[in-house]
Amino acid sequence: MGLSTPTRRHFLQTSTAGLAASGLAAQDRVDKKISPNDRIRVALIGAGGMGTGDAESSQEVPGVELVAVSDIYQGRLIRAKERWGNQLFTTRDYREVLARRDIDAVLIATPDHWHSQISIDAMEAAKDVYCEKPMVQRVDDGRAVVEAQRKTGRIMQVGSQRVSSIVYEKARELLQAGAIGELNMVEAWWDRNNAIGAWEYSIPPDATPQNIDWDRFLGRAPRVPFEPARLFRWRNYRDYGTGVAGDLFVHLFSGMHFVTGAHGPTRVFATGGLRFWKDGRDVPDVFLGLYDYPATDRHPAFNLALRVNFVSGAGESSGFRFVGSEGVMTIAGGVTVSKTPRETEPGYTIDTFPKAVQAEFLAGYEKKYPPRRPSADSLRPEEQEQYLPPRHYSDHLDHHRNFIAAVRSRQPLVEDPVFGFRAAGPALLSNVSYFEQRVCKWDPESMTLLS
Ligand SMILES: NC(=O)c1ccc[n+]([C@@H]2O[C@H](COP(=O)([O-])OP(=O)(O)OC[C@H]3O[C@@H](n4cnc5c(N)ncnc54)[C@H](O)[C@@H]3O)[C@@H](O)[C@H]2O)c1
């Protein structure tokens, strides 16, 4: 997608009735109608690793133009112009991006502690929002984001791309069609064994107070002296990140909720420890969570077990196992359904009984299950079906396509703030459970921490 000069025609329509009484800021009163042929002008806020990926995927969607980038580290603004052209508007202050009337949507890829504030500010400034996962850093932040979206009517999508994946869609279809019988358990894991996988990202040699707006990075976090590792390795600190639960469990919750239709667990318990990456971080590198999902009209009762291990000697792997009464569905790259039919008779364990008792037992057993000579017809198949996506398939691109489609159509999308909060909530409560050493009770319908 080229970066041509602005050619879009926006139909700006100001609705006065009703809105005048609503007390919304002047800019909120602008009801933008975007025709299918209009260009969508997006801005990126937070131009690090994922923000760069989001901006790239977004620009692959036809009709999208990247016009502005905000970051608090000057090096990333320079890099943005190197990558996407000198015409970009760049600023260290994201509010300057929100003040621009020519921007339709923002991609928010800052550290987690900024997500809720920038999302709310953006929607109140009449921008549509693609915000990276986890939607919020603290459970307490969730309601305000949900409310802001409802109040402003903006499109907001959270960036857990599995929700737009054809692989997860296939898994959902298979589960709903009864491919594994009745679901009773879900296991998911994410194992790694290298420094970058464990968040030890490079710190640039020009990380100086002149090149970094330190106060704006800290935001609502406690004031601490300038320390580049806190910015470039922010995941390692609870002040800015959300540990492995907010970073990785949240993807697993999002994917699993999409496949099962679940809204969330009612009980959350997590444990783990810091075992290897003792680089000053204050979050665990081995982490396990257990979750209760009682029966609802969308799914039977099941339990969820999640694991992240950054010290896994066998290297990186991640996936899901949906365990059902008639089979197991695995998601790892593609979807695989494996079935081993249950034995048609229960069998027996009589060898340790006295001989006479064995004979009596056998007589009874054979009466109930008469011995039959095995025939070809009686052989039952061990089934394995595999569904693989096309070689270069990108769920991330599909997620951005879905976002831009919703920006154009103004129709609701799947991973809205309610979905995002229902995935973030139990992930963040896993941290509460771990750090406070307790079981948390959660109401997934009202999205409230009960105790
Ligand atoms: N969807 C996914 O698969 C996926 C993958 C990786 C990261 N993420 C998410 O993306 C977000 C960013 O992660 P990352 O790995 O790109 O981190 P990163 O550190 O590479 O990038 C974050 C950027 O935000 C900037 N920043 C910090 N405070 C800011 C502010 N107030 N205003 C503007 N910019 C600010 C930083 O300078 C940095 O350039 C995180 O929330 C993370 O959870 C999602």
**Predicted pLDDT at 341:** 86
Distances (CA, A) of 426 to 161, 186, 194, 264, 323: 18, 15, 27, 7, 21
Report which protein residue has its CA nearest ligand 1's atom 20.
48
Report which protein residue has its CA nearest ligand 1's atom 38.
48
Q: Determine the residue type at 199.
A: W
Residue 245: strand pairing partners = none
Tokens found for residue 153: 């009517």
Pocket lining: 130 vs ligand 1, CB cutoff 6 Å: no
Pocket lining: 401 vs ligand 1, CB cutoff 6 Å: no
pTM for this prediction:
0.91
Of 225, 229, 224, 227, residue with least CA distance to 201: 229
Pocket lining: 272 vs ligand 1, CB cutoff 6 Å: no
Q: How far is the CA of 50 from the centre of ligand 1 (A)?
A: 6
- From 52, 83, 98, 110, mutation site for ligand 1 pocket: most ligand atoms within 8 A of C-beta: 110
Q: CB–CB of 174/337 below 8 Å?
A: yes
**Predicted pLDDT at 379:** 83
**Predicted pLDDT at 32:** 53
Q: Any idea which residue has 């760049």 for tokens? A: 90
**Predicted pLDDT at 375:** 87
Pocket lining: 111 vs ligand 1, CB cutoff 6 Å: yes
Report which protein residue has its CA nearest ligand 1's atom 3.
160
CA 175 to CA 362: how far, in whole Å? 40
Q: CB–CB of 27/7 below 8 Å?
A: no
Q: How far is the CA of 319 from the centre of ligand 1 (A)?
A: 24
CA 254 to CA 270: how far, in whole Å? 18
Q: Omega of the bond prior to 390 within 30 degrees of 0, cis?
A: no
Contacts for 386-393 with beta carbons within 8 Å, 24 or more apart? 386/334, 386/335, 386/336, 386/337, 387/167, 387/170, 387/174, 387/334, 387/335, 387/336, 388/333, 388/334, 389/165, 389/166, 389/167, 389/333, 389/334, 393/166, 393/167
Q: CB–CB of 222/281 below 8 Å?
A: no
Q: Provide the residue count of the chain.
A: 451
Q: How far is the CA of 160 from the centre of ligand 1 (A)?
A: 14
Pocket lining: 92 vs ligand 1, CB cutoff 6 Å: no
Pocket lining: 395 vs ligand 1, CB cutoff 6 Å: no
Q: CB–CB of 308/287 below 8 Å?
A: yes
Q: Determine the residue type at 104.
A: D
Q: How far is the CA of 99 from the centre of ligand 1 (A)?
A: 21
Q: How far is the CA of 275 from the centre of ligand 1 (A)?
A: 25
DSSP 3-state assignment of 343?
Answer: coil
The series of mean pLDDT values per 10 residues for the chain, 451 residues long, is 29 29 35 70 98 98 98 98 98 98 98 98 98 98 98 98 98 98 98 97 98 98 98 98 98 98 98 98 98 98 98 94 98 96 92 98 97 85 93 97 97 97 98 98 98 93
CA 260 to CA 198: how far, in whole Å? 30
